[in-house]
A and B are shown apart, each in its own frame.
Chain A
Amino acid sequence: DVKVTQSSRYLVKRTGEKVFLECVQDMDHENMFWYRQDPGLGLRLIYFSYDVKMKEKGDIPEGYSVSREKKERFSLILESASTNQTSMYLCATIGTQGPYEQYFGPGTRLTVT
């Protein structure tokens, strides 16, 4: 079974802090994704990565950056956290061979005060 883990289930940070959210997968998948999920807005893609050191902007990249130094690890960085970044953050992974089933981590509930 694919296992996707996220570094924290719950996180509380102050406005202006630099925040790191980490995601690790154990299936040697090339593609990794970061989403945020908000009530009424559904899941929105922030960034994704096809391979080590590769990254692509998703639909809402503003205020975020990412790092992929190793294939199994994909980090989401909030350079200066703001209250409107309070959200549920979900990491996901998918391989480059069929059937292209996407797997999600357990999520990190981030609150910025």
Chain B
Amino acid sequence: KQEVTQIPAALSVPEGENLVLNCSFTDSAIYNLQWFRQDPGKGLTSLLLIQSSQREQTSGRLNASLDKSSGRSTLYIAASQPGDSATYLCAVRRNTDKLIFGTGTRLQVFP
């Protein structure tokens, strides 16, 4: 059974720092991996999607990498800002239907 773990559970950093959020999964037979952002009381916003054949994806200050063989993905946020404060979730898809979610990393960026 696929399990997805995110470390750390919470992170507090000063504005301007570069930071890395980690996601690990137990079954490397994935179709893709998706990173989401969730603001308090809101839905999930898709940030990046990496196909199993890809090693990384970039969008603005965000870079996500995937090492399928070791069951790991990282989300790198460059030059963090207070507006980046949110919970970040990763999710893996085994086939074309269900996503398996991690429990998230709650990020606070203070001025």
What residues of chain A have their CB less than 8 Å away from a CB belonging to chain B?
4, 31, 33, 40-43, 45, 48, 50, 58, 88, 90, 92, 94, 96, 98-107, 109
What residues of chain B have their CB less than 8 Å away from a CB belonging to chain A?
31-32, 34, 36, 41-46, 49, 51, 89, 91, 93, 96-99, 101-104
Contact B97 A42 (CB under 8 A): no
- Cβ of A7 to closest chain B Cβ, rounded Å: 13
* Cα of A98 to Cα of B31 in the assembled complex, Å: 10
Contact B32 A104 (CB under 8 A): no
Contact B42 A107 (CB under 8 A): yes
Q: Which residues of the partner chain A approach B89 to less than 8 Å between Cβ atoms?
A: 42-43
Q: Which residues of the partner chain A approach B102 to less than 8 Å between Cβ atoms?
A: 42
- Residue among A90, A100, A101 having the largest count of chain B Cβ atoms under 10 Å: A100
Contact B43 A31 (CB under 8 A): no
Q: Which residues of the partner chain A approach B46 to less than 8 Å between Cβ atoms?
A: 101-104
Contact B104 A105 (CB under 8 A): no
List the B residue with the shortest CB-CB distance to A50: B97
* Cα of A50 to Cα of B99 in the assembled complex, Å: 14
Pick from B34, B43, B103: contact of A101, CB under 8 Å = B34
Contact B96 A48 (CB under 8 A): no
Contact B101 A99 (CB under 8 A): no
A31-B97, A107-B42 as given contacts; A100 in contact with B31, CB under 8 Å: yes
Contact A100 B96 (CB under 8 A): yes
Q: Which residues of the partner chain A approach B93 to less than 8 Å between Cβ atoms?
A: 100, 102
Q: Which residues of the partner chain A approach B97 to less than 8 Å between Cβ atoms?
A: 31, 48, 50, 94
- Residue among B89, B91, B97 having the largest count of chain A Cβ atoms under 10 Å: B97
- Cβ of A91 to closest chain B Cβ, rounded Å: 8
* Cα of A48 to Cα of B93 in the assembled complex, Å: 15
Q: Which residues of the partner chain B approach A105 to less than 8 Å between Cβ atoms?
A: 43
Contact A42 B101 (CB under 8 A): yes
Q: Which residues of the partner chain B approach A103 to less than 8 Å between Cβ atoms?
A: 46
- Cβ of A90 to closest chain B Cβ, rounded Å: 6
* Cα of A86 to Cα of B91 in the assembled complex, Å: 24
Instruction: Return the 7 tightest CB-CB contacts between A and B, nearest first.
Output: A104-B44, A104-B43, A106-B43, A42-B103, A107-B43, A43-B101, A101-B49
